[in-house]
Structure 1
């Protein structure tokens, strides 16, 4: 079978009219002769509504019972989609994560997919049905429902596409694809016809909300071609795939996009006179909290004061601060947390090999009067911390400084246009 996996996010299903519109897309693909599996998120703000309900009755954090509650949102979407398809004369069956054979680790609220049996999905496709699968959820080894955390439905879609050997996984969202910056804050941003998985993963980690890092990492590992498209238009979208015809790395445009993240807090752990290296202890605390860190710097082994700084998600700051304070207090130290910052990144390929790009980034921000603090550099990403109220200004400044508001000059291959190239 020529299998297509389509995933529809919460905004794409927010109203019944949008559910019907999504069903029409699925129906068109089915009538074109393809076997279609659909993965759905909870509609609109349904997950947030359920989280508020849980908080109102005293839920304090991820748990078995909270996952039981949150799974309702995707189950509702799947049943509605199957019913809408039935109304169009397209046979369909809705399947929960458990029914679709999605197996996960036991970590509630942030589980990882360990495998997909997909027996019922395959049977449905072979019988000519559309299989509508709930994203964001699976079954832990205990047999209980476990949710996948941020980007869970995207990750479900890619994992299912890999298991079904699907030719393409289409991710439908509320924007026309992946852009050189967030078009909601920078109208001059340009749509990227295609982007390499590694670059997309960096963009996602740096704050781009179109796709989640886990989804793209899995797509790269499994060789799944991902198309990002707008559920409300016929725009061609963006293809996330490695291209062999993109021209030599050293002559194509290196910077592809600017990304920003305001869900950022800057953390400094400090302890005077401690004779023990506390870095392993700090990372153990962060790992126990499931906290992702970035822009890490620390004092050396021969300094009299232990200092370690890094950024985390501001939304995770509360429990992380308490756990780190308990650790530092045991050695006579403390924790300083600054929640008034954001992170801006330029993303591409070969950036570390071009030190002039870091100089350009810093000079452009300085000329615009935007203060900077911590900075991190790698081959695919240059990130800098700026005041949160200047994040959008920084995005606009760097987008212009690296020429992303202009098409690549003719005749030079670029990372976004394999027939052209330029040095940004």
Structure 2
């Protein structure tokens, strides 16, 4: 079988008309000869509504019962999509994560997929049915529903595509694809016809909202071709694929996109007159809270004062604030949180090998009068911290500096398997 996995996000299913439009797209893919498995998210704001409902009865922390409640949103979407497809004359069956054989780790609210059996999914496809599977959920070792956390539905779709050896995983959303910058703040941003998986993972981590990092990391590990498309149009969208056929690195555009993130807090840890290395204790606190850390710098082993700086998500600051103060206070130190910052990143390939790109980044921001503080460099990402109120200005400045409104010559070459690059 030629298997195609299609995933529809909540905004693509918000109304019954949108559900029907998605069903028509699924039916068309099936008419073209593919066996189709579909992964769905909860419709519209359904997950947020359920979270508010739980909060109204005093439940906000991840738990077995909260996962039981949140799973309702995706189950509703799957059943509604299967009913719609059957009404169109397309045989379909809805399957929850557990029914589809999606097994997870035991961490409620943020579980990881450990295995997919997919026995019932395969049986449905072989019987000529569309298998509509709930995203964002699976079953843990105790037999309870566990939700997957941020990016869970996209990750479900990629994992299912890998298990079924699908030709591609199409992610349908409310934008035309992956852009060179956020088109909501920068109209000159260009929809990219293709992006390498490693670059896409860096873009997602650095603030691009279209796909979550864990979804792209899984796609890269499993060799799944991901296509991001608009559910409301026929635009070709963006293909996430390794295009080693377009020539050596030196002939490609080094900078692909500019991303930004305002969910950032800059944290400074200090302890004067102490030779003790507090880094292990600090990282233990962050790890216990599942806190993502970036732009880390620290003092050396022979300095009299311990100093350490890093960035975390501003939305996670309250979860670790007290614990960090407790750790440092016990050694006569302290912690300072600066939440009035943003992170702007230039993402591409071979950036560390080209020091002129870091120089251009800093010079462009300085010429625009945008103050900068910390900077981090790697082969795929140059990130800099700026005042939060100047974040959009920094995105516009760097997008213009690196000419990202112009097509990359590599965009015009053929993609793998002879397809046009925009397919």
Q: Please, what TM-score do these two structures have when normalized by structure 1? A: 0.96
Aligned ranges 1:160-199 → 2 under 5 Å? 160-199=160-199
Once superposed, what is the RMSD of the aligned Cα atoms? 1.3
Given that residues 35 and 130 in structure 1 are in contact (C-alpha distance below 8 angstroms), is that contact kept between their aligned partners in structure 2?
yes
- Structure 2 residue 204 is the aligned partner of structure 1 residue 204: yes
2:176–2:230 contact (8 Å) kept in structure 1: yes
Distance in 2 between residues matched to 1:33 and 1:301, nearest whole Å: 64
For each residue in 1:354-413, what CA deviation from the matched residue of structure 2 results, as whole angstroms up to 9, or x when unmatched? 1110111111111111111111000000001111111111111100000111234xxxx5
Which SS does the other structure have where 2:149 is aligned? coil
Moved runs in structure 1, 4+ residues, more than 6 A? none
Q: What is the alpha-carbon distance in structure 1 between the residues aligned to residue 318 and residue 85 of structure 2?
A: 44
Question: Are 1:112 and 2:112 matched, yes or no?
Answer: yes
Distance 2:293 2:51 in 1: 25
1:70 aligns with 2:67: no
Output one character per residue of 1:139-194: Cα deviation in whole Å (capped at 9) or x when no partner: 11121111111110000000000000100100001111111111111110111111
Structure 2 match to 1:288: 288
- Once the 2 structures are TM-superposed, how far is the Cα of residue 4 of structure 1 from its aligned partner? 0.4
SS at 1:245 equivalent = helix
Counterpart Cα distance in 2 of 1:225 and 1:4 = 11
**Residues 308-347 of structure 1: pairs in structure 2 closer than 5 A:** 308-347=308-347
Figure out how many residues of one structure are paired with residues of the other and give that number: 415
For residue 172 of structure 1, give the secondary structure of its aligned residue in structure 2: strand
- The offset of 1:275, in angstroms, is 3.0
Structure 2: runs of 5+ lacking an equivalent: 416-423
Q: Higher mean Cα deviation, 343-352 or 134-143?
A: 134-143
Matched residue, 1:2: 2
| Separation (CA, whole Å) in 1 of partners of 2:401 and 2:251 | 18
State the Cα distance separating 1:274 from its structure 2 match: 2.8
The residue number in structure 2 matching 1:34 is 34
| 1:246 equivalent in structure 2 | 246
Work out the CA distance in 2 between the residues paired with 1:133 and 1:407: 37
Q: 1:15-52 CA distances to partner (integer Å, 9 max, x unpaired)?
A: 11111111110111112221100001111111111111
Structure 1 contact 41–153 (Cα < 8 Å) conserved: yes
Change (3 A) 1:368 1:67: same
Tell whether the 8 Å contact from 2:275 to 2:302 is kept in structure 1 after alignment.
no
Once the two structures are TM-superposed, the CA of residue 328 in structure 1 deviates from its matched residue by 1.5
Residue 417 of structure 1 and its aligned partner are, at CA, apart by: 4.4
